[in-house]
Chain A
Amino acid sequence: KQEVTQIPAALSVPEGENLVLNCSFTDSAIYNLQWFRQDPGKGLTSLLLIQSSQREQTSGRLNASLDKSSGRSTLYIAASQPGDSATYLCAVRRDAGGTSYGKLTFGQGTILTVHP
């Protein structure tokens, strides 16, 4: 059974810092990994999607890396801003073995607070 763990559970940093959020998964047979942002009481916004054959993806100040063999992914946020404050969730999609559906398994999230 796939298990996804995110460390730390919460993180508080001053504005301007570069930071790293960690995600680990127990079963390396994944199809891809997705990072989401969730604001309080809201739905999820997709940030980055990394296919299992890729090592990293970048979008603006965000960079996500994937080491499939070791079961790890990191989300790097450069020059953090108060508007980055949210919960960040990672989710892995299992390798469906050629079928069209692969279930997403989520971590419990990292609550990020960036203070001015």
Chain B
Amino acid sequence: DGGITQSPKYLFRKEGQNVTLSCEQNLNHDAMYWYRQDPGQGLRLIYYSQIVNDFQKGDIAEGYSVSREKKESFPLTVTSAQKNPTAFYLCASSIVIPGREQFFGPGTRLTVL
């Protein structure tokens, strides 16, 4: 089955800790994205990558970091510098052609204790 997987589904972090969220896709998509969703709000773009070893900041990149060493994988690290990290995090991917839809993973809910 082709798709996007995110792990873990739930993640708890103590203040001051860095945590890494996993995103893997087997759709052969070049582009991958990380979004954050807060209650009652739409999604906001954190980082995106159009090709391996390249990525760009989105609207709310402060306190986050990413890497793109493989086409299939785009992990997101939430650092201690992120002031309000409790949120639902969604990963997406798409082919790099204008107008093509993005496909989303099931999400990771991060809670800071």
Q: Which of B3-60 contact A (CB under 8 A)?
A: 4, 6, 31, 33, 40-45, 48, 50, 58
Residues B104 and A108 in contact, CB atoms below 8 Å apart? no
Residue of chain A at shortest CB distance from B42: A106
Residues A107 and B104 in contact, CB atoms below 8 Å apart? no
Residue of chain A at shortest CB distance from B102: A104
Minimum distance in angstroms from B97 CB to a CB of chain A: 7
Set B45, B92, B101: member contacting A49, Cβ < 8 A: B101
Binds B, one of A13-21, A67-75, A76-84, A93-101: A93-101
Set B58, B98, B106: member contacting A43, Cβ < 8 A: B106
Minimum distance in angstroms from A111 CB to a CB of chain B: 9
Residues A4 and B99 in contact, CB atoms below 8 Å apart? no
Number of interface residues of B (CB under 8 A): 28
Question: Given A31-B98, A101-B31, A42 and B106 touching (CB < 8 A)?
Answer: yes
Residues of A bordering B, CB below 8 Å? 4, 9, 31-32, 34, 36, 41-46, 49, 51, 89, 91, 93, 96, 100-109
Given pairs A100-B98, A102-B98, 11 additional interface contacts (CB within 8 A): A41-B109, A43-B6, A43-B106, A44-B104, A46-B103, A51-B99, A89-B43, A96-B98, A104-B102, A108-B40, A109-B42
Residues of B bordering A, CB below 8 Å? 4, 6, 31, 33, 40-45, 48, 50, 58, 88, 90, 92, 96-99, 101-107, 109
